[in-house]
Structure 1
């Protein structure tokens, strides 16, 4: 499949899930799937106001990336830097604009559910599934995805946000390429729920 490569920022819990980021970069090096725009978020003064923190991350760390891949392990939802990266990805900055967001649940979560939001995704990524159902309650999303950050659940409840969730075990090269491209294609029309206050401490 010949698709334009997109610049990707990978958000993840460094202590627990570094292997999976490294593996994504290894696959990318072999198969030329995306442009790696990841930069490790450095120390940011917690005393700064939320808007300043968001602007620093959007303009200094996410830079000109257009897709954010969130790798979800068992501690991801409790990390303040991940929440900052997600919020920053969802907002148009003065220098860099909002990104599309793709969620990949890692094996440690034991997740078997997935959510498809992009055109053609059901057929391309989940061709074995002939029976789909809509979820419209927070309680059901939290039951299915107990390790997802609350900010992602907020946006799964908002159909205009167009965030897809897949499992690491389902990903192959062509599916990953498709998902990144589809996430990029829909980013401009995404209307994110930005109401949640940014996390100030790790849980």
Structure 2
């Protein structure tokens, strides 16, 4: 079973995280290796927290699942988790990244990049597919996505999908397909990691 780490805004989006964990733990969508609330002391030095996340939680995972709500893009810990997932290091290897867009964003778009994804997840949507290519277009389409994710959506050598919550809610088979397919492409992703790591939570 694919091992995955859930990255999310603990204060805002815990209910969504609990549902995804239920799909994993009860219905076998994936092996949940995430940080639980209060697992990490937030008073620790930032570099210590980053090391704990990278070496203790991401070490054996193959996929990072990002739950994207309205304030996700401002959270420093989420940015650290995303960048750590992109690094092909000696301790933790590069992971695939799957974005689940939460209902709070009111976004009705999706981005497909995985083999067989259109047929498996969107069998009812057979026409009207089009390609989004520029960073500005992605930012307009997904105003709540972290910039680090946007930077990698525009890269042709990164397979990174964005799926609406409605396509995985109470649908463990869909989630399992997406997580497994994301794991299979992880090794070939050449992530853009040029964005500096966020040092504080900031909502402009």
The answer to whether TM tops 0.5 is: yes
8 Å CA contact 2:158, 2:189 repeated in 1: yes
Give unmatched runs, 5+ long, in structure 1: none
Query: Residue by residue, what CA displacement relative to the aligned partner does 1:12-39 show, whole Å, maximum 9, x if unpaired?
Result: 0000000011111122232112111112
Query: Residue by residue, what CA displacement relative to the aligned partner does 1:161-194 show, whole Å, maximum 9, x if unpaired?
Result: 1110001011122111110110000001111001
SS of structure 2 residue aligned to 1:19 = helix
Q: Does 1:134 align with 2:144?
A: no
SS of structure 1 residue aligned to 2:13 = helix
CA RMSD of aligned residues (A): 1.5
Please give the residue correspondences for 1:72-91 in structure 2 after superposition, counting only pairs within 5 Å.
72-91=68-87
8 Å CA contact 1:9, 1:37 repeated in 2: yes
Q: Does 1:10 align with 2:6?
A: yes
Distance 1:195 1:75 in 2: 22
SS of structure 2 residue aligned to 1:15 = coil
8 Å CA contact 2:25, 2:31 repeated in 1: no
Could you tell me which residue of structure 1 aligns to residue 158 of structure 2?
Answer: 161
SS of structure 2 residue aligned to 1:70 = strand
Please give the residue correspondences for 1:171-182 in structure 2 after superposition, counting only pairs within 5 Å.
171=168, 172-182=171-181
Please give the residue correspondences for 1:181-196 in structure 2 after superposition, counting only pairs within 5 Å.
181-196=180-195
Distance 1:87 1:96 in 2: 12
Question: 1:100 pairs with 96, 100, 107, which one?
Answer: 96
Q: Does 1:29 align with 2:28?
A: no
8 Å CA contact 2:59, 2:93 repeated in 1: no
SS of structure 1 residue aligned to 2:26 = helix
8 Å CA contact 2:25, 2:32 repeated in 1: no
Query: Residue by residue, what CA displacement relative to the aligned partner does 1:65-107 show, whole Å, maximum 9, x if unpaired?
Result: 1110000011100000000000000001221201100000000
SS of structure 2 residue aligned to 1:102 = strand
Distance 1:93 1:54 in 2: 14
Distance 1:126 1:33 in 2: 18
TM score, norm. by length of structure 2: 0.91
Could you tell me which residue of structure 2 aligns to residue 200 of structure 1?
Answer: 199
Q: Does 1:111 align with 2:107?
A: yes
Give unmatched runs, 5+ long, in structure 2: none
Question: 1:120 pairs with 112, 116, 131, which one?
Answer: 116
Q: How much does 1:55 deviate?
A: 4.5
